[in-house]
């Protein structure tokens, strides 16, 4: 049986760099984690059949390609943990 997980994705408003983070197994836990981590940034949540970040990145890029039909935009590298840490550090310095 396949298990599903919730993922958090969006982009840094300052640099437009996209990011992807593991959320949780349930939607409510994922939403809570996103609200705590992102402190006001816009984000989306997606339920995917994987816990592997590499596989989730491929799926998100595939969804983006289906939606936008823009190969260049859909193939942009998604930032993960380090990218999110940099975003949070920048926001702390600004505010």
What digits encode the pLDDT tens for the residues 46-69? Answer: 999 999 999 999 999 998 899 888
- Where in the sequence is the domain holding 78, given as residue range(s)? 5-94
| Number of structural domains found in the chain | 1
% of the chain surpassing 90 pLDDT: 45
CB atoms within 10 A of CB 45: 16
CB burial readout 49-66, b (16+ within 10 A) else e:
ebeeeeebbebbbeebee
User: pTM of the entire structure?
Assistant: 0.81
């Amino acid at each position: 049986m396949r298990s599903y997980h919730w993922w958090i994705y969006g982009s840094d408003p300052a640099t437009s760099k996209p990011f992807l983070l593991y959320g949780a197994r349930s939607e409510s836990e994922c939403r809570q984690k996103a609200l705590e981590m992102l402190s006001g940034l816009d984000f989306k949540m997606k339920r995917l059949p994987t816990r592997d970040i590499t596989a989730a990145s491929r799926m998100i890029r595939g969804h983006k390609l289906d939606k936008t039909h823009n190969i260049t935009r859909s193939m942009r590298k998604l930032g993960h943990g380090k990218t999110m840490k940099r975003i949070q550090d920048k926001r702390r310095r600004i505010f």
